[in-house]
Structure 1
Amino acid sequence: MDKLLACTIVLLLFINTIKTDGCHKRKFKEDSFVCVCNELECDSFEPVTNPPKGLIYSYVSDKDEHRFHKDTLDPKTLNTVTADSIKLSINVNETYQQIIGFGGAFTDAAGINIKSLPDKLVLDLIRDYFGKDGLEYNMGRVTIGGADFSPRPYTHQDDYQDLNWTHFALAEEDLEYKIPYIKLANDFSGGLKLFGSMWSPPAWMKYQQRINGTGILIGDPGEVYYKAMASYMVKFLDEYKKHGVEFWGITTLNEPSAGFKPDYPFNCLGISPEQMTKWIAKDLGPILKAAGYGKDKLKLLILDDNVSLLFLYASRVFSNYEASQYVSGVAVHWYENKLFGFDQFDKTHQFFPDYFMLSTEACTGLGYDGIAVKLGLWSRGEEYANDLVGNMNHWSSGWVDWNLALNTIGGPNWVSMFVDSPIIVNAEKQEYYKQPMYYALAHFSKFLKPGSTRLGFKVTNPDDNVRTTVFKTDQNQLVVITVNSNDYAANLTIEGFAENVVGLTLGPHSFRTLVINKS
């Protein structure tokens, strides 16, 4: 009996280490499905490789059937050309921005949900984002102190009104829910580009003495509170470094417009474009540099807010030499992109081409019928994919999602403002679900490696619901990514991709990535 029990345990351990290919589908109430990961089964991706010379690798995800389905295609047999075909003409000599990367946010909420899983699933989930058989993320956003997706409002020195930060300390949330998973992700990715974002300094630094609601820092840039806020950010970087975590970048502040809004529900601080410019020039830039975090060591990104404010903040900061000398780029959130489009991306690049733009926050589900998480809702994957195409085609050098993982109601969130996530954790059932958003991200992040360059292209006979972007990787691959949001198939012809004109059909509600080796 003991021998039988031992054999059973060994067999179970063996089964639990298998990471199978192929989505384990589960349908809930929505129009598509999720892929389930538990201790017995979880789908994974093949590492991306170069296709054989003259052939095309095609990867398809769609609403009805596929999740990252791979085929090898011979372009000589792809001759579906019709009068209604959308014509894509690629110009390999017309080049634009290079990719920095893709990633997600190490929030307290993400860490709480990840920690609720068995050890094997913790590894699987982190690998699903950062591993070679996952999304291959190379970036991560880290909250400096608490945010809305924290179990409580907090900063790193709430109880002591000391501008020298002698009582500054990392919180339990840093040590339990962020740092361990950052380190694990770094191991899987081979090196993360991390950037920190602060939602609010301690409440006692504001006129209003509150963590949320209208909140303005006491005094003016160049004075003690603004200098102390810069030193607070240095302390954060230093403390994380003591735990073996170093940062690639930092943003000036999460959503600096929020602190001007009456009764704003969660952690915030208001800083105007003029205040931001003066703070960087007089305090933040010099203090970061003096602490060893100058522009050659740490990327400082301004804004970290919505597109309607992009040119306003960029024009103030970048037109001021004293401030701009410390800054590398602009961080933009996605929440107004559908409303305002990407014109401000183009305008900002036109006037200030030396600074990169990076999308640093996105999520769906807020305010949708009171139900944040919709398991398997395909349109949320399309929202991600269409925004990714828009960002790529308008000078963004990368795209960083919001929470890496949330629970089945879209939390925890200390003000109960729940949203959706590409991965949803069901702690009760000890499993997690990969949403259509997750696979939408895969069609970009697995192929557009750092250093990939966007190429010029022209679309003839366009369809507003079929969107495309084109890149060349540093491995000399051409990558075409398409999103068809129609209820019907669309025919596409591509010139300048293979030796001959390629004609193919894009299925309804589908994402497709095409890769060809041009070496």
Structure 2
Amino acid sequence: MKTINPLLCLLFTLVIMSCNEKNNDLEVTILETSANGNKLTEIKPVAKAENSSSVKILPQEEFQTITGFGGSFTESSAYLLNQVSKENRNKVLEAYFGESGAKYSLTRTHMNSCDFSLGNYSYAPVEDDMELEHFSIDEDREDIIPMIKDAMAVSKDGFKIISSPWTAPIWMKDNKKWEGGKLLPKYNDTWALFFSKYIDAYKAEGIDIWGFTVENEPLGNDSNWESMHFSPEEMTSFVTNHLGPRLEADNHDVKILGYDQNREELHKWVDVMYGDETASKYYSGAAVHWYASTYDYFPEALQYAHKKAPNKHLINSEACVDAEVPKWKDDKWYWSKEATDWGFDWAPDDQKHLHPKYAPVNRYARDIIGCLNNYVDGWVDWNMVLDRQGGPNWAENWCVAPVLVDPEKDEVYFTPIYYTLSHFSKYIRPEAKRIGIEVSDEALMATAAKNVDGTIAVILFNEGPEEKVVTLALEDQEVSIKINGQAIQTILIGKSQS
């Protein structure tokens, strides 16, 4: 019998151990945007540290199917892109829709004018045109339609469009004004026909409309700009008896999203929207905005809406840093708790606590992660492009956009908000499934989704100032990651989508 060399045994054991360790290493691509200057910067894993935080991915737990992420085609944004050089116009469109950019997959635009228009207009300007014989989208041909078409040309995978009216033509309203008022009942059928004609007109331009919200902010905006008021019962009656049947009769396969305002009122609306079988038939889901608070994403309201109708969409259709003139080429401001919103000055006393100062990046990261973890399947930002004033806006309702331009100097500024949004839109793709995740550290926020190509995207947010080491585990594999203070990361498992 041959004697086994002990040294060979030891060597064999070490090789096996080494192989096992290698097999247990989770292969990842880590991209970070942070207050220290990283902008979707790739960073490497680190050595395992004692007392590290743990994040465990649970792919067997599946939740909502993702519809998409993106921003909005407003007349203001489209107009500004017509004012800069072709080079910068193409640069912005590539940044939002191209393979090297954010790859936006879900967008929004306005029907008729809104505050982020150059002025008030309607596609049906002729009074008492009951059959809308004079309906025309000519107002959109100079700016909005060319921007959408150019984005379509850049986008490899395409994107969905949600269209929202801020108001019906003023001749259909009881107050005959752009701001406030209600739709007169005698125009219910004409207003429903308006939606159908809009779909046909855009389709003739080669643009498909994926969905509608029935009315932007039906609770109103204190008559500061275009609006039209509905109660939950009034909107549901209009959808059930007029809009839904009209779109159905005209063979339009389009989503109808109800509500479309702040989340704290959501439960009242879904109770009515999904209150009976007929109403629920026409609603594809609900849309919400984030303006009720600068820090609270209202998880209870989102959970309530999901439980009320688990198979329907829940989409954040609008969000922005409002009531602020943008800071130009000042990345630090976007990471600093200096921004205020409308509620900082104007909220009633019992709601003041919901509107403290905040850091714009923090608000975006918190809200999107919080929404995803509470069944929201789509998240849409407001204007894609604004100028240094935060307009143009005929109502002087200045806001911030992820990309700012100076048409006079032909300059473009990609704010940290742009990179924050890209962490989601670029790597969590349509039809992905949100999956389970466990986080040991309450100071970290995280969400995860599995794409149809098998890749898993984990979004990790560290709002605090101190860097952290995190052990990320998937089944029997793990990897150690360092996340800087004030940072958001996308961690890709599987083939990189960058």
Uncovered stretches (5+) of structure 2, i.e. residues with no partner: 1-24, 336-358
Matches of 2:201 and 2:490, distance apart in 1: 41
Q: Which runs of 5+ in 1 are unaligned?
A: 1-52
Give the C-alpha shift of residue 89 in structure 1.
2.2
SS of match in other structure, 1:180: helix
1:152, CA displacement in angstroms? 0.5
- TM (normalized to structure 2)? 0.86
Q: Give a deviation string over 1:254-305, Cα, whole Å, max 9, x none.
A: 11111xx6x4110000011011111111101000111121xxx211111111
- Could you say which residue in structure 2 is the equivalent of 1:347? 304
Partner residue, 1:79: 48
Give 1:322 shift: 1.4
| Alignment partner of 1:283 is 2:252 | no
User: 1:322 aligned to 2:278?
Assistant: yes
**1:242 maps to 2:208:** no
Asked whether the 8 Å contact 1:285–1:323 carries over to 2, the reply is: no
Distance 1:432 1:211, change over 3 A: same
Q: Given the alignment of the two structures, is residue 475 of structure 1 paired with residue 453 of structure 2, yes or no?
A: yes
- For the pair 1:491 / 2:453, whether they are aligned, the reply is no
Task: Output aligned runs, 1:11-90, within 5 Å.
Answer: 54-73=26-45, 78-82=47-51, 85-90=52-57
Using the TM superposition, give the Cα deviation of residue 54 of structure 1 relative to its aligned residue in structure 2, in angstroms. 4.9
Matches within 5 A, 1:102-141: 102-141=69-108
Equivalent residue, structure 1, for 2:13:
none
CA distance in structure 2 between the partners assigned to 1:446 and 1:152 by the alignment? 34
Give the superposition deviation at 1:457. Answer: 1.9
1:269 to 223, 228, 231: 228
Between the aligned partners of 1:412 and 1:518, the Cα distance in structure 2 is 42
Cα distance in 2 between the residues matched to 1:517 and 1:159: 57
- Does the 8 Å contact 1:373/1:421 carry over to 2? no
Match of 2:146 among 163, 175, 180: 180
The residue type paired with residue 307 of structure 2 is Q
| 1:301 aligns to 2:260 (yes or no) | no
| 8 Å Cα contact 1:308-1:340 kept in structure 2 | no
Q: Of 250, 254, 257, which residue of structure 1 is paired with 2:216? A: 254
Secondary structure of 1:468 counterpart: strand
- Equivalent residue number for residue 511 of structure 1: 488
Q: Give the % identical residues.
A: 30
> Which string of whole-angstrom CA distances, capped at 9 and with x for unpartnered residues, describes residues 298-332 of structure 1?
11111111101212111111122212112211111
SS of equivalent residue, structure 1 residue 163: coil
For the residue of structure 2 that corresponds to 1:176, the secondary structure is coil
Matched, 1:208 2:188: no
Measured after TM superposition, the shift of residue 167 of structure 1 is 1.5
Once the 2 structures are TM-superposed, how far is the Cα of residue 490 of structure 1 from its aligned partner? Answer: 2.2
Amino acid at match of 1:244: G
Give the letter for the 1:286 counterpart.
P
Question: 8 Å contact 2:470–2:482 — kept in the other structure?
Answer: yes
Change (3 A) 1:315 1:78: farther
Match of 2:12 in 1: none
Task: Name the CA distance, whole Å, in 2 between partners of 1:448 and 1:442.
Answer: 10
Distance in 1 between residues matched to 2:32 and 2:105, nearest whole Å: 23
Shift of 1:72: 4.8
Q: Which amino acid aligns with 2:41?
A: H
Which has more radius of gyration? 2
Tell me how far apart the structure 1 counterparts of residues 494 and 104 of structure 2 sit (CA, whole Å).
23
Instruction: Give the corresponding residue for 2:16.
Output: none
TM-score normalised per structure 1: 0.82
CA drift at 1:491: 2.8
Q: 1:187 to 1:226 in 2, by over 3 A?
A: same
Matching residue's letter, 2:89: V
Name the Cα RMSD after superposition: 1.8
Q: 1:501 corresponds to which residue? A: 478
Q: Is the 8 A contact 1:373 1:410 kept in 2?
A: no
Corresponding residue number in structure 2 for 1:458: 438
Note the alpha carbon deviations across 1:330-379, whole angstroms, 9 max, x for none.
11112125346221111111121011211110100x234xx344542223
Query: How many residue pairs get matched?
Result: 444
Equivalent position amino acid for 2:79 in 1? I
Q: Distance in 2 between matches of 1:510 and 1:97?
A: 26
Tell me the amino acid that sits aligned with residue 476 of structure 1.
G
